[in-house]
Amino acid sequence: MFQGYRQETLDFLWGIRFNNDRTWFQAHKEEYLRCLYEPTAALGEEVYDRFASKRPKLGLDLHISRIYRDARRLHGRGPYKDHLWFSLRPGKILTWVGKVLNPLFLICLAALLATALLRPMGPLDAAAPEGTFAQSAFVGGFLEGYNTMDALAGLAFGIVVVNVIRGLDVTEPGAVAANTVAAGCLGCGLMGVIYLAVAVVGAQSRGLYPASSNGGEALLAIARHYFGGFGAVILAVTVTFACVKTAVGLITSCSQTFCELFPRGPSYRTWAVGFCLFSFGAANFGLETILAWATPVLMFLYPLAITLILLSLAGGLFGNDRRVYLCVTAFTLPAAVLDLLKALPAGAQAILPLGGLLEAAGRWLPLYGLGLGWVCPALAGLAAGLVWRAAKR
Cα separation values, 291 from 104, 224, 250, 259, Å: 27, 24, 18, 28
User: Helix 102-118 and helix 215-227: axis angle, to 10°?
Assistant: 70
pLDDT at 58: 55
Residues 6+ apart with CB under 8 A from 78: 16, 20, 21, 69
| pLDDT at 197 > cutoff 80 | yes
Tell me the mean pLDDT in the region 47-56.
Answer: 70
Res 84: pLDDT: 72
The answer to whether 65 and 85 have CB atoms below 8 angstroms apart is: yes
The arithmetic mean of pLDDT across residues 303-310, rounded, is: 90
Residue 109 pLDDT > 80: yes
The pLDDT score that the predictor gives to residue 317 is 85
Between residues 306 and 2, which one has the greater pLDDT? 306
Does the pLDDT of residue 70 top 70, yes or no?
A: no
Comparing 7-16, 83-92, 344-353, the range with the smallest average pLDDT is: 83-92
Sequence-distant (≥ 6) Cβ neighbours of residue 365 within 8 angstroms = 335, 338, 373, 376, 377
CB-based contact 392:323 (threshold 8 Å): yes
Q: Look at residue 203 in the predicted model and tell me its pLDDT.
A: 86
Domain ranges of the chain: 7-90, 92-284, 287-393
87 pLDDT tier (thresholds 50, 70, 90): low
Cα separation, 19 vs 199, in Å, equals: 68
What's the pLDDT band for 88 if we cut at 50, 70, 90?
low
pLDDT beyond 90 at 219: no
Nearest alpha carbon to residue 19 among 80, 85, 84: 80
Question: Do 248 and 94 form a contact (C-beta atoms < 8 A)?
Answer: yes
Query: What pLDDT score was predicted for residue 172?
Result: 84
Q: pLDDT at position 391, please?
A: 86
pLDDT, tens digit, for every residue of 376-390?
A: 999 999 999 999 988
Cα(301)–Cα(337) distance, rounded to whole angstroms?
9
State the pTM of this model.
0.62
**pLDDT the model gives residue 60:** 66
Question: Tens of pLDDT along 311-339?
Answer: 988 888 888 889 999 999 999 999 999 88
Q: Is the pLDDT of residue 177 over 90?
A: no
Over the stretch 131-157, which tens digit does the pLDDT of each residue have?
777 777 788 788 877 777 777 777 766
